[in-house]
Amino acid sequence: MCNAGDRGTAVSAVLIENPRTRVTRWSFSGRGDNTGWHRHEYDYLVVPIQDGVLEIRDAKGVLSRSELKVGVPYFRKRGVEHDVLNGNDGEFAFIEVEFLEHAARQN
């Protein structure tokens, strides 16, 4: 996730990074843990690695809930601004794959 405006309590670990992609595991230890406010500079997809609920606070401050299912990914275009919160009573994690725009183009 890009341009973190404030530090959240979730823990990120970059698993893969190269000129084309960045793969990050996001781990939340308990309800309310969050990524911190940020704006995505790249298109990205999220792959849940367990079933659970994320609460998303958007740029207008509106809080919505998203139910995620293990292995069922979703895709978003760059420009999304939000804070992502753990809506579960226990731990939760997902994998984020960013598609970096400065990807090397080779034939």
- Which of these CATH numbers, 3.30.420.40, 3.40.50.1100, 2.60.120.10, 3.90.330.10, describes 11-99? 2.60.120.10
What pLDDT does 4 receive? 47
Please say whether the beta carbons of 54 and 85 come within 8 A.
yes
Q: Tens digit of pLDDT for each residue in 4-36?
A: 456 899 999 999 999 999 999 999 999 999 999
What value, to the nearest 5°, has the Cα angle with vertex 98 and ends 94 and 92? Answer: 10
Please say whether the beta carbons of 75 and 44 come within 8 A.
yes
DSSP SS3 for 83? strand
Domain boundaries, the chain: 11-99
Reported confidence tier of residue 107, pLDDT bands at 50, 70, 90: very low
Please say whether the beta carbons of 38 and 2 come within 8 A.
yes
DSSP 8-class letter at 34: B
What pLDDT does 101 receive? 73
Q: Tens digit of pLDDT for each residue in 30-86?
A: 999 999 999 999 999 999 999 999 999 998 999 999 999 999 999 999 999 999 999
